Amino acid sequence: VRNPNAGGGGGVGAGPEREQERGGAGVAVLTKPPETETVTEHMRKEAVEKEPTWRVLLHNDDIHTFEYVIDSLVKVVRTVSRKKAHTITMEAHKNGLATVTTTWKQLAREYSLGLQQAGLTSSIAPDRTNAT
């Protein structure tokens, strides 16, 4: 590999020969230092681990059928199986309130909003297991 800064001029008028010595138009590859990626990834994981979890709550209502509520739960909260949705629906029916899932706050809001858009009564609350 020839050092383009080592002697021989090469300023304006160096011509195509000089370009070829340097590899033509060339391609530059920029890389992050590995430790920067590791530190950033570690900090992100640590922040997520420290973020408190929130409960998505389903409130009982006397309007919707069990089947509709189960279908809505499975559609909105894709991690909930039909069997689990049935259990959640029964708990809300018997106790007036049931926890659908626990997750970070933003996703809990999205799930609750999705259930509300389906016509169900839903809210979120801090997960009491967060208390230390």
3-state SS of the chain?
A: CCCCCCCCCCCCCCHHHHHHHCCCCCCCCCCCCHHHHHHHHHHHHHHHHHCCEEEEEEECCCCCCHHHHHHHHHHHCCCCCHHHHHHHHHHHHHHCEEEEEEEEHHHHHHHHHHHHHCCCEEEEEECHHHCC
Predicted confidence (pLDDT) at residue 17 exceeds the cutoff of 50: no
Q: What is this structure's pTM?
A: 0.63
Phi-psi region of 15 (alpha: psi -120 to 50; beta: other; left: phi over 0): left
Please give the pLDDT value at position 51: 84
If you average pLDDT over residues 11-36, what whole number do you get? 55
Predicted confidence (pLDDT) at residue 99 exceeds the cutoff of 80: yes
If you average pLDDT over residues 13-30, what whole number do you get? 55
Supply the Cα-derived Rg of the chain in whole angstroms.
29
Task: Give how far the C-alpha of residue 37 lies from the chain's centroid of Cα atoms, to the nearest Å.
Answer: 18
Instruction: Give residue-wise pLDDT tens across range 28-56.
Output: 666 665 555 566 776 666 665 678 999 99
**Contacts of 45 by beta carbon, 8 Å cutoff, 6+ apart:** none
Please give the pLDDT value at position 110: 98
Residue 90 CA to residue 97 CA, distance in Å, equals: 10
Residue 71 CA to residue 105 CA, distance in Å, equals: 23
